[in-house]
Amino acid sequence: MTTDEARQQTRILVQAAAQACEAKKGQDTRILELDPIDAGLSDFFLVTSATNDRQSVAIADEIEDKLKKEFGVLPNSVEGRRKGDWILLDYVDFVVHVFLAERRAFYDIERLRKSARPVTPAEFDAELKAALAEKTAAARKKAAAKAKPAAAKAAPQPKKAAKTTAPAKHTSAKKTAVKKAAVKKAAVKKTAARKKPSLSKTAKGR
């Protein structure tokens, strides 16, 4: 898998995790696209808020279950589940932070990550769909380009027209006729030449 493909897969997982937050009524859900320079191993932070610790645990459980069932992915580590005021699910390429509202305001991760680009789940979803559509179009274009030479090779070559021998015969017949005419003409001349002396001899006798 290439770097672009791996990042695309990470985006799909983040999108699924955001959907799980929405399903359990997570509030003010945000996705932070981290700056590669200071992001470390992770590409994204997913941050959401809960009104109480039971809801924060329910959100974390929903994320784990969804990613496990749909993608076979488990978090590398989970922290804070027992207290429930800040649950962290580390998926290496992205990290989920489920906060109680007051805890989120206190730590203010969005402010600490000033270089990150914040997007809503809806914006993130639109970007992902556009990227997937672009990738599909590029793949189809590539497949079409490959198919053209193959189709050209498979196409039957036009048969060469058979050579007509009729003109050759006609030419041969014409040459024969000309030759015969020449022979006949020569014979006539020869005959005429023979007749002339006999005429002169007759004139002398007279």
Query: Could you tell me the residue range of the domain that residue 103 belongs to?
Result: 3-134
Residue 17 is assigned to a structural domain of this protein: yes
CATH number at residue 71: 3.30.460.10
Specify if 142 maps to a domain.
no
What is the per-residue pLDDT for 110?
87
72 domain residue, yes or no = yes
Condensed to tens digits (0 to 9), the pLDDT of residues 88-116 reads: 999 999 999 999 999 999 999 988 888 88
Please check whether residue 21 lies inside any domain of the structure: yes
Residue 149 lies in a domain: no
Tally of domains in the chain: 1
Cβ atoms of 96 and 50 closer than 8 Å: no
Q: Which residues pair with 27 in a beta bridge?
A: 49
Pick the closest to residue 76 from 85, 66, 84, 88 (CA basis): 88
Mean pLDDT of 174-180: 61
Phi, psi of 114 (to 5 degrees): -65, -30
Instruction: Give the SS3 label for residue 130.
Output: helix
DSSP count for the chain of H helices, then E strands: 6, 6
Count CA within 13 A, CB hemisphere, residue 104. 24
- Residue 62: other Cβ atoms inside 10 A: 19
Mean pLDDT of the chain: 81
For 132-173, the pLDDT digits (tens) are 887 788 778 888 888 777 666 766 666 665 555 555 555 555
- What pLDDT score was predicted for residue 201? 47
**What band does 131 get if pLDDT is binned at 50, 70 and 90?**
confident
